[in-house]
Structure 1
Amino acid sequence: MTDAKNSEQPILKAEHLGITFGGLKAVSDFNMTIRKGELIGLIGPNGAGKTTVFNLLTGVYKPTEGDFWLDGQHMNGKKTYQVVRAGIARTFQNIRLFKQLTVEQNVLVAFDESFSYHMGGAIFRTPRFWKQENEMHAKAMDLLKIFDLDGLASTQAANLPYGQQRKLEIARALATGMKLLLLDEPAAGMNPTETEDLLRCINTIRDRFGIAILLIEHDMSLVMSVCQRIQVLDYGRTIASGTPEEIANNPQVISAYLGADDSDDAEADSTDHATPEPSIAKTMQEGAR
């Protein structure tokens, strides 16, 4: 008997996806399947190709090899706005908000075509215009409430603390009604309290909306505690894939992060080779518990 979850069409399916810049293969033979409601981590050392994968999935780059599908729809060659309309939204390493707009306005602009009325309705303030305005306001406030930002709806986005700006960016992404949310280092620059709050929000998003999430993050404790599966890139290729426990104890993953030299004649002089502290292995293993 076929497992219902396994027979369900995946939200994202990537097969042998890759891109070459000149003679350099930035990403090669990338394969991934994400199903509805799954939260998958994509990790690797700096320069491993993680953000390049995001750029491929969002139409910023066109793959030079392989294919990918969103909920069964072939996405190769789609422009970024077409990708968003199809159901992929993302956040960025560097926060990209409309800083001069209010918190609520930042969410409202993301509704795009979800609400529409004719120019005449807007000019003459018809009943249909006010009905949709009220609906948009209510929907925006519902999203902001998830992130405890509803009380700051009229605050200019530029005046929010860093952690709240991060949360607003995610709330705006949710307003697009996506099927797949790509989070690019959402905890970057956050203190431990803000990171813990972000973790709660990510879990709420997954549980309440049932959307698929692909997460790039360098905070290993966050990755290991929130992700169901993790895929590891190094030099543009997948070197490991599995549960947090499997990844935390994978020698190849630890070697990739630490740049370990396994040769017999490697220098062992502690004055020349400082031991990283805290150990990435320890951090991973503690987060996976």
Structure 2
Amino acid sequence: MAEVILQAKHLGISFGGLKAVDDFNIEIKAGELMGLIGPNGAGKTTVFNLLTGVYTPTEGAFFLCGEKMNGKKTYQVVQAGIARTFQNIRLFKSMTVIENVMVAYGMSIKYKMPGALFRSSTYWREEAEYREKAMELLKIFGLEDKADFVADNLPYGQQRKLEIARALATGMKLLLLDEPAAGMNPTETADLLRCINVIREQFGIAILLIEHDMSLVMKICERIVVIDYGVTIATGLPEEIASNQRVITAYLGADEEEEGA
């Protein structure tokens, strides 16, 4: 049996009198790609914020490889092995492409501040090592020839891929992708799909994906969780979700009785 990477049990959060997420449960195993979908405002990004320490759950708990993560700061969550991308790209736009990736190795460096200031042999050795690792990641995304470009000068689709490459550099066990195909044209989306498949094959990491492009979701996700108004309304295989009347109603706003008439 594959190792359980992420487990959320009765996870929830309230803001004042509003329950943004209620009784959310999920289990993701090593190497699995799961989709998290729902209409706009359903609470999907709030779930991501709970899983990355941006918000502290007011109910329930979640575990990474059996370790309880409630109450950990965002940097502690990253150190433990959860990384994410965002709906709105958050790169270090004035830094180069390769610098954006190398900065994610910051938790692994061994040289200290004096070594960096005086450019010690340890500093140069580690910088060379992490530059090489960063280049290997950029090759996966076809960005190796853009390594020394300023990140802000990349086309939109390539900025998206760079953000994923930077997340991979943290050495995570679970990757959270928040609408990675948003704003992409069909060619860019197809290239992203290829990259995600390569990531799974090469790194074997678990992935939780939020995405509004249903064709993408149905192509790559092994299982899908659907939430609406913060409540889970369906969990299952892509074909089961596609024919689930409650899911169709949530997306289309149709009345179930009218649908059955």
- Normalising by structure 2, report the TM-score: 0.97
Moved over 3 A (4+): none
Counterpart of 2:75 in structure 1: which amino acid?
A: Y
Matched, 1:194 2:196: no
Between the aligned partners of 1:122 and 1:184, the Cα distance in structure 2 is: 35
Matched, 1:88 2:82: yes
Q: How does 1:1-289 map to 2 (within 5 A)?
A: 4-5=1-2, 8=3, 10-263=4-257
Deviation at 1:238, TM superposition (A): 0.7
* Unmatched runs of 5 consecutive residues or more in structure 1: 269-289
Structure possessing the higher radius of gyration over alpha carbons: 1
Do the aligned residues in 1 keep the contact of 2:225 with 2:236 (CA within 8 Å)?
A: yes
Counterpart of 2:81 in structure 1: which amino acid?
A: G
Between the aligned partners of 1:126 and 1:15, the Cα distance in structure 2 is: 48
Deviation at 1:126, TM superposition (A): 2.7
Counterpart of 1:61 in structure 2: which amino acid?
A: Y
Counterpart of 2:145 in structure 1: which amino acid?
A: G
State the identity %: 73
Q: Secondary structure at the match of 2:202?
A: helix
Between the aligned partners of 2:124 and 2:75, the Cα distance in structure 1 is: 28
Q: Secondary structure at the match of 2:216?
A: helix
Q: Which moved more, 1:116-125 or 1:145-154?
A: 116-125
Deviation at 1:263, TM superposition (A): 4.3
Between the aligned partners of 2:130 and 2:19, the Cα distance in structure 1 is: 44
Between the aligned partners of 2:50 and 2:58, the Cα distance in structure 1 is: 10
Q: Secondary structure at the match of 1:11?
A: strand
- Normalising by structure 1, report the TM-score: 0.88
Q: Secondary structure at the match of 2:256?
A: coil
Counterpart of 1:71 in structure 2: which amino acid?
A: C
Deviation sequence 1:218-251 (CA, Å, 0-9, x none): 0000000000000000111111101111111111
Deviation at 1:123, TM superposition (A): 3.4
Q: Secondary structure at the match of 1:99?
A: coil
Question: Please, what is the CA RMSD of the aligned residues?
Answer: 1.3
Deviation sequence 1:7-66 (CA, Å, 0-9, x none): x3x110000000111111111010000011000000000011100000000111111100
> Aligned pair in 2 of structure 1 residues 119, 24: CA closer, same or farther (>3 Å)?
closer
Between the aligned partners of 2:68 and 2:205, the Cα distance in structure 1 is: 19
Counterpart of 1:254 in structure 2: which amino acid?
A: I
Q: Secondary structure at the match of 2:7?
A: strand
Deviation at 1:115, TM superposition (A): 1.5
Q: Partner residue of 1:281?
A: none
Counterpart of 1:242 in structure 2: which amino acid?
A: G
Between the aligned partners of 1:123 and 1:206, the Cα distance in structure 2 is: 38
Do the aligned residues in 1 keep the contact of 2:31 with 2:200 (CA within 8 Å)?
A: yes
Do the aligned residues in 1 keep the contact of 2:245 with 2:256 (CA within 8 Å)?
A: no
Q: Which moved more, 1:27-36 or 1:113-122?
A: 113-122
Deviation at 1:133, TM superposition (A): 1.2
Between the aligned partners of 2:56 and 2:120, the Cα distance in structure 1 is: 44
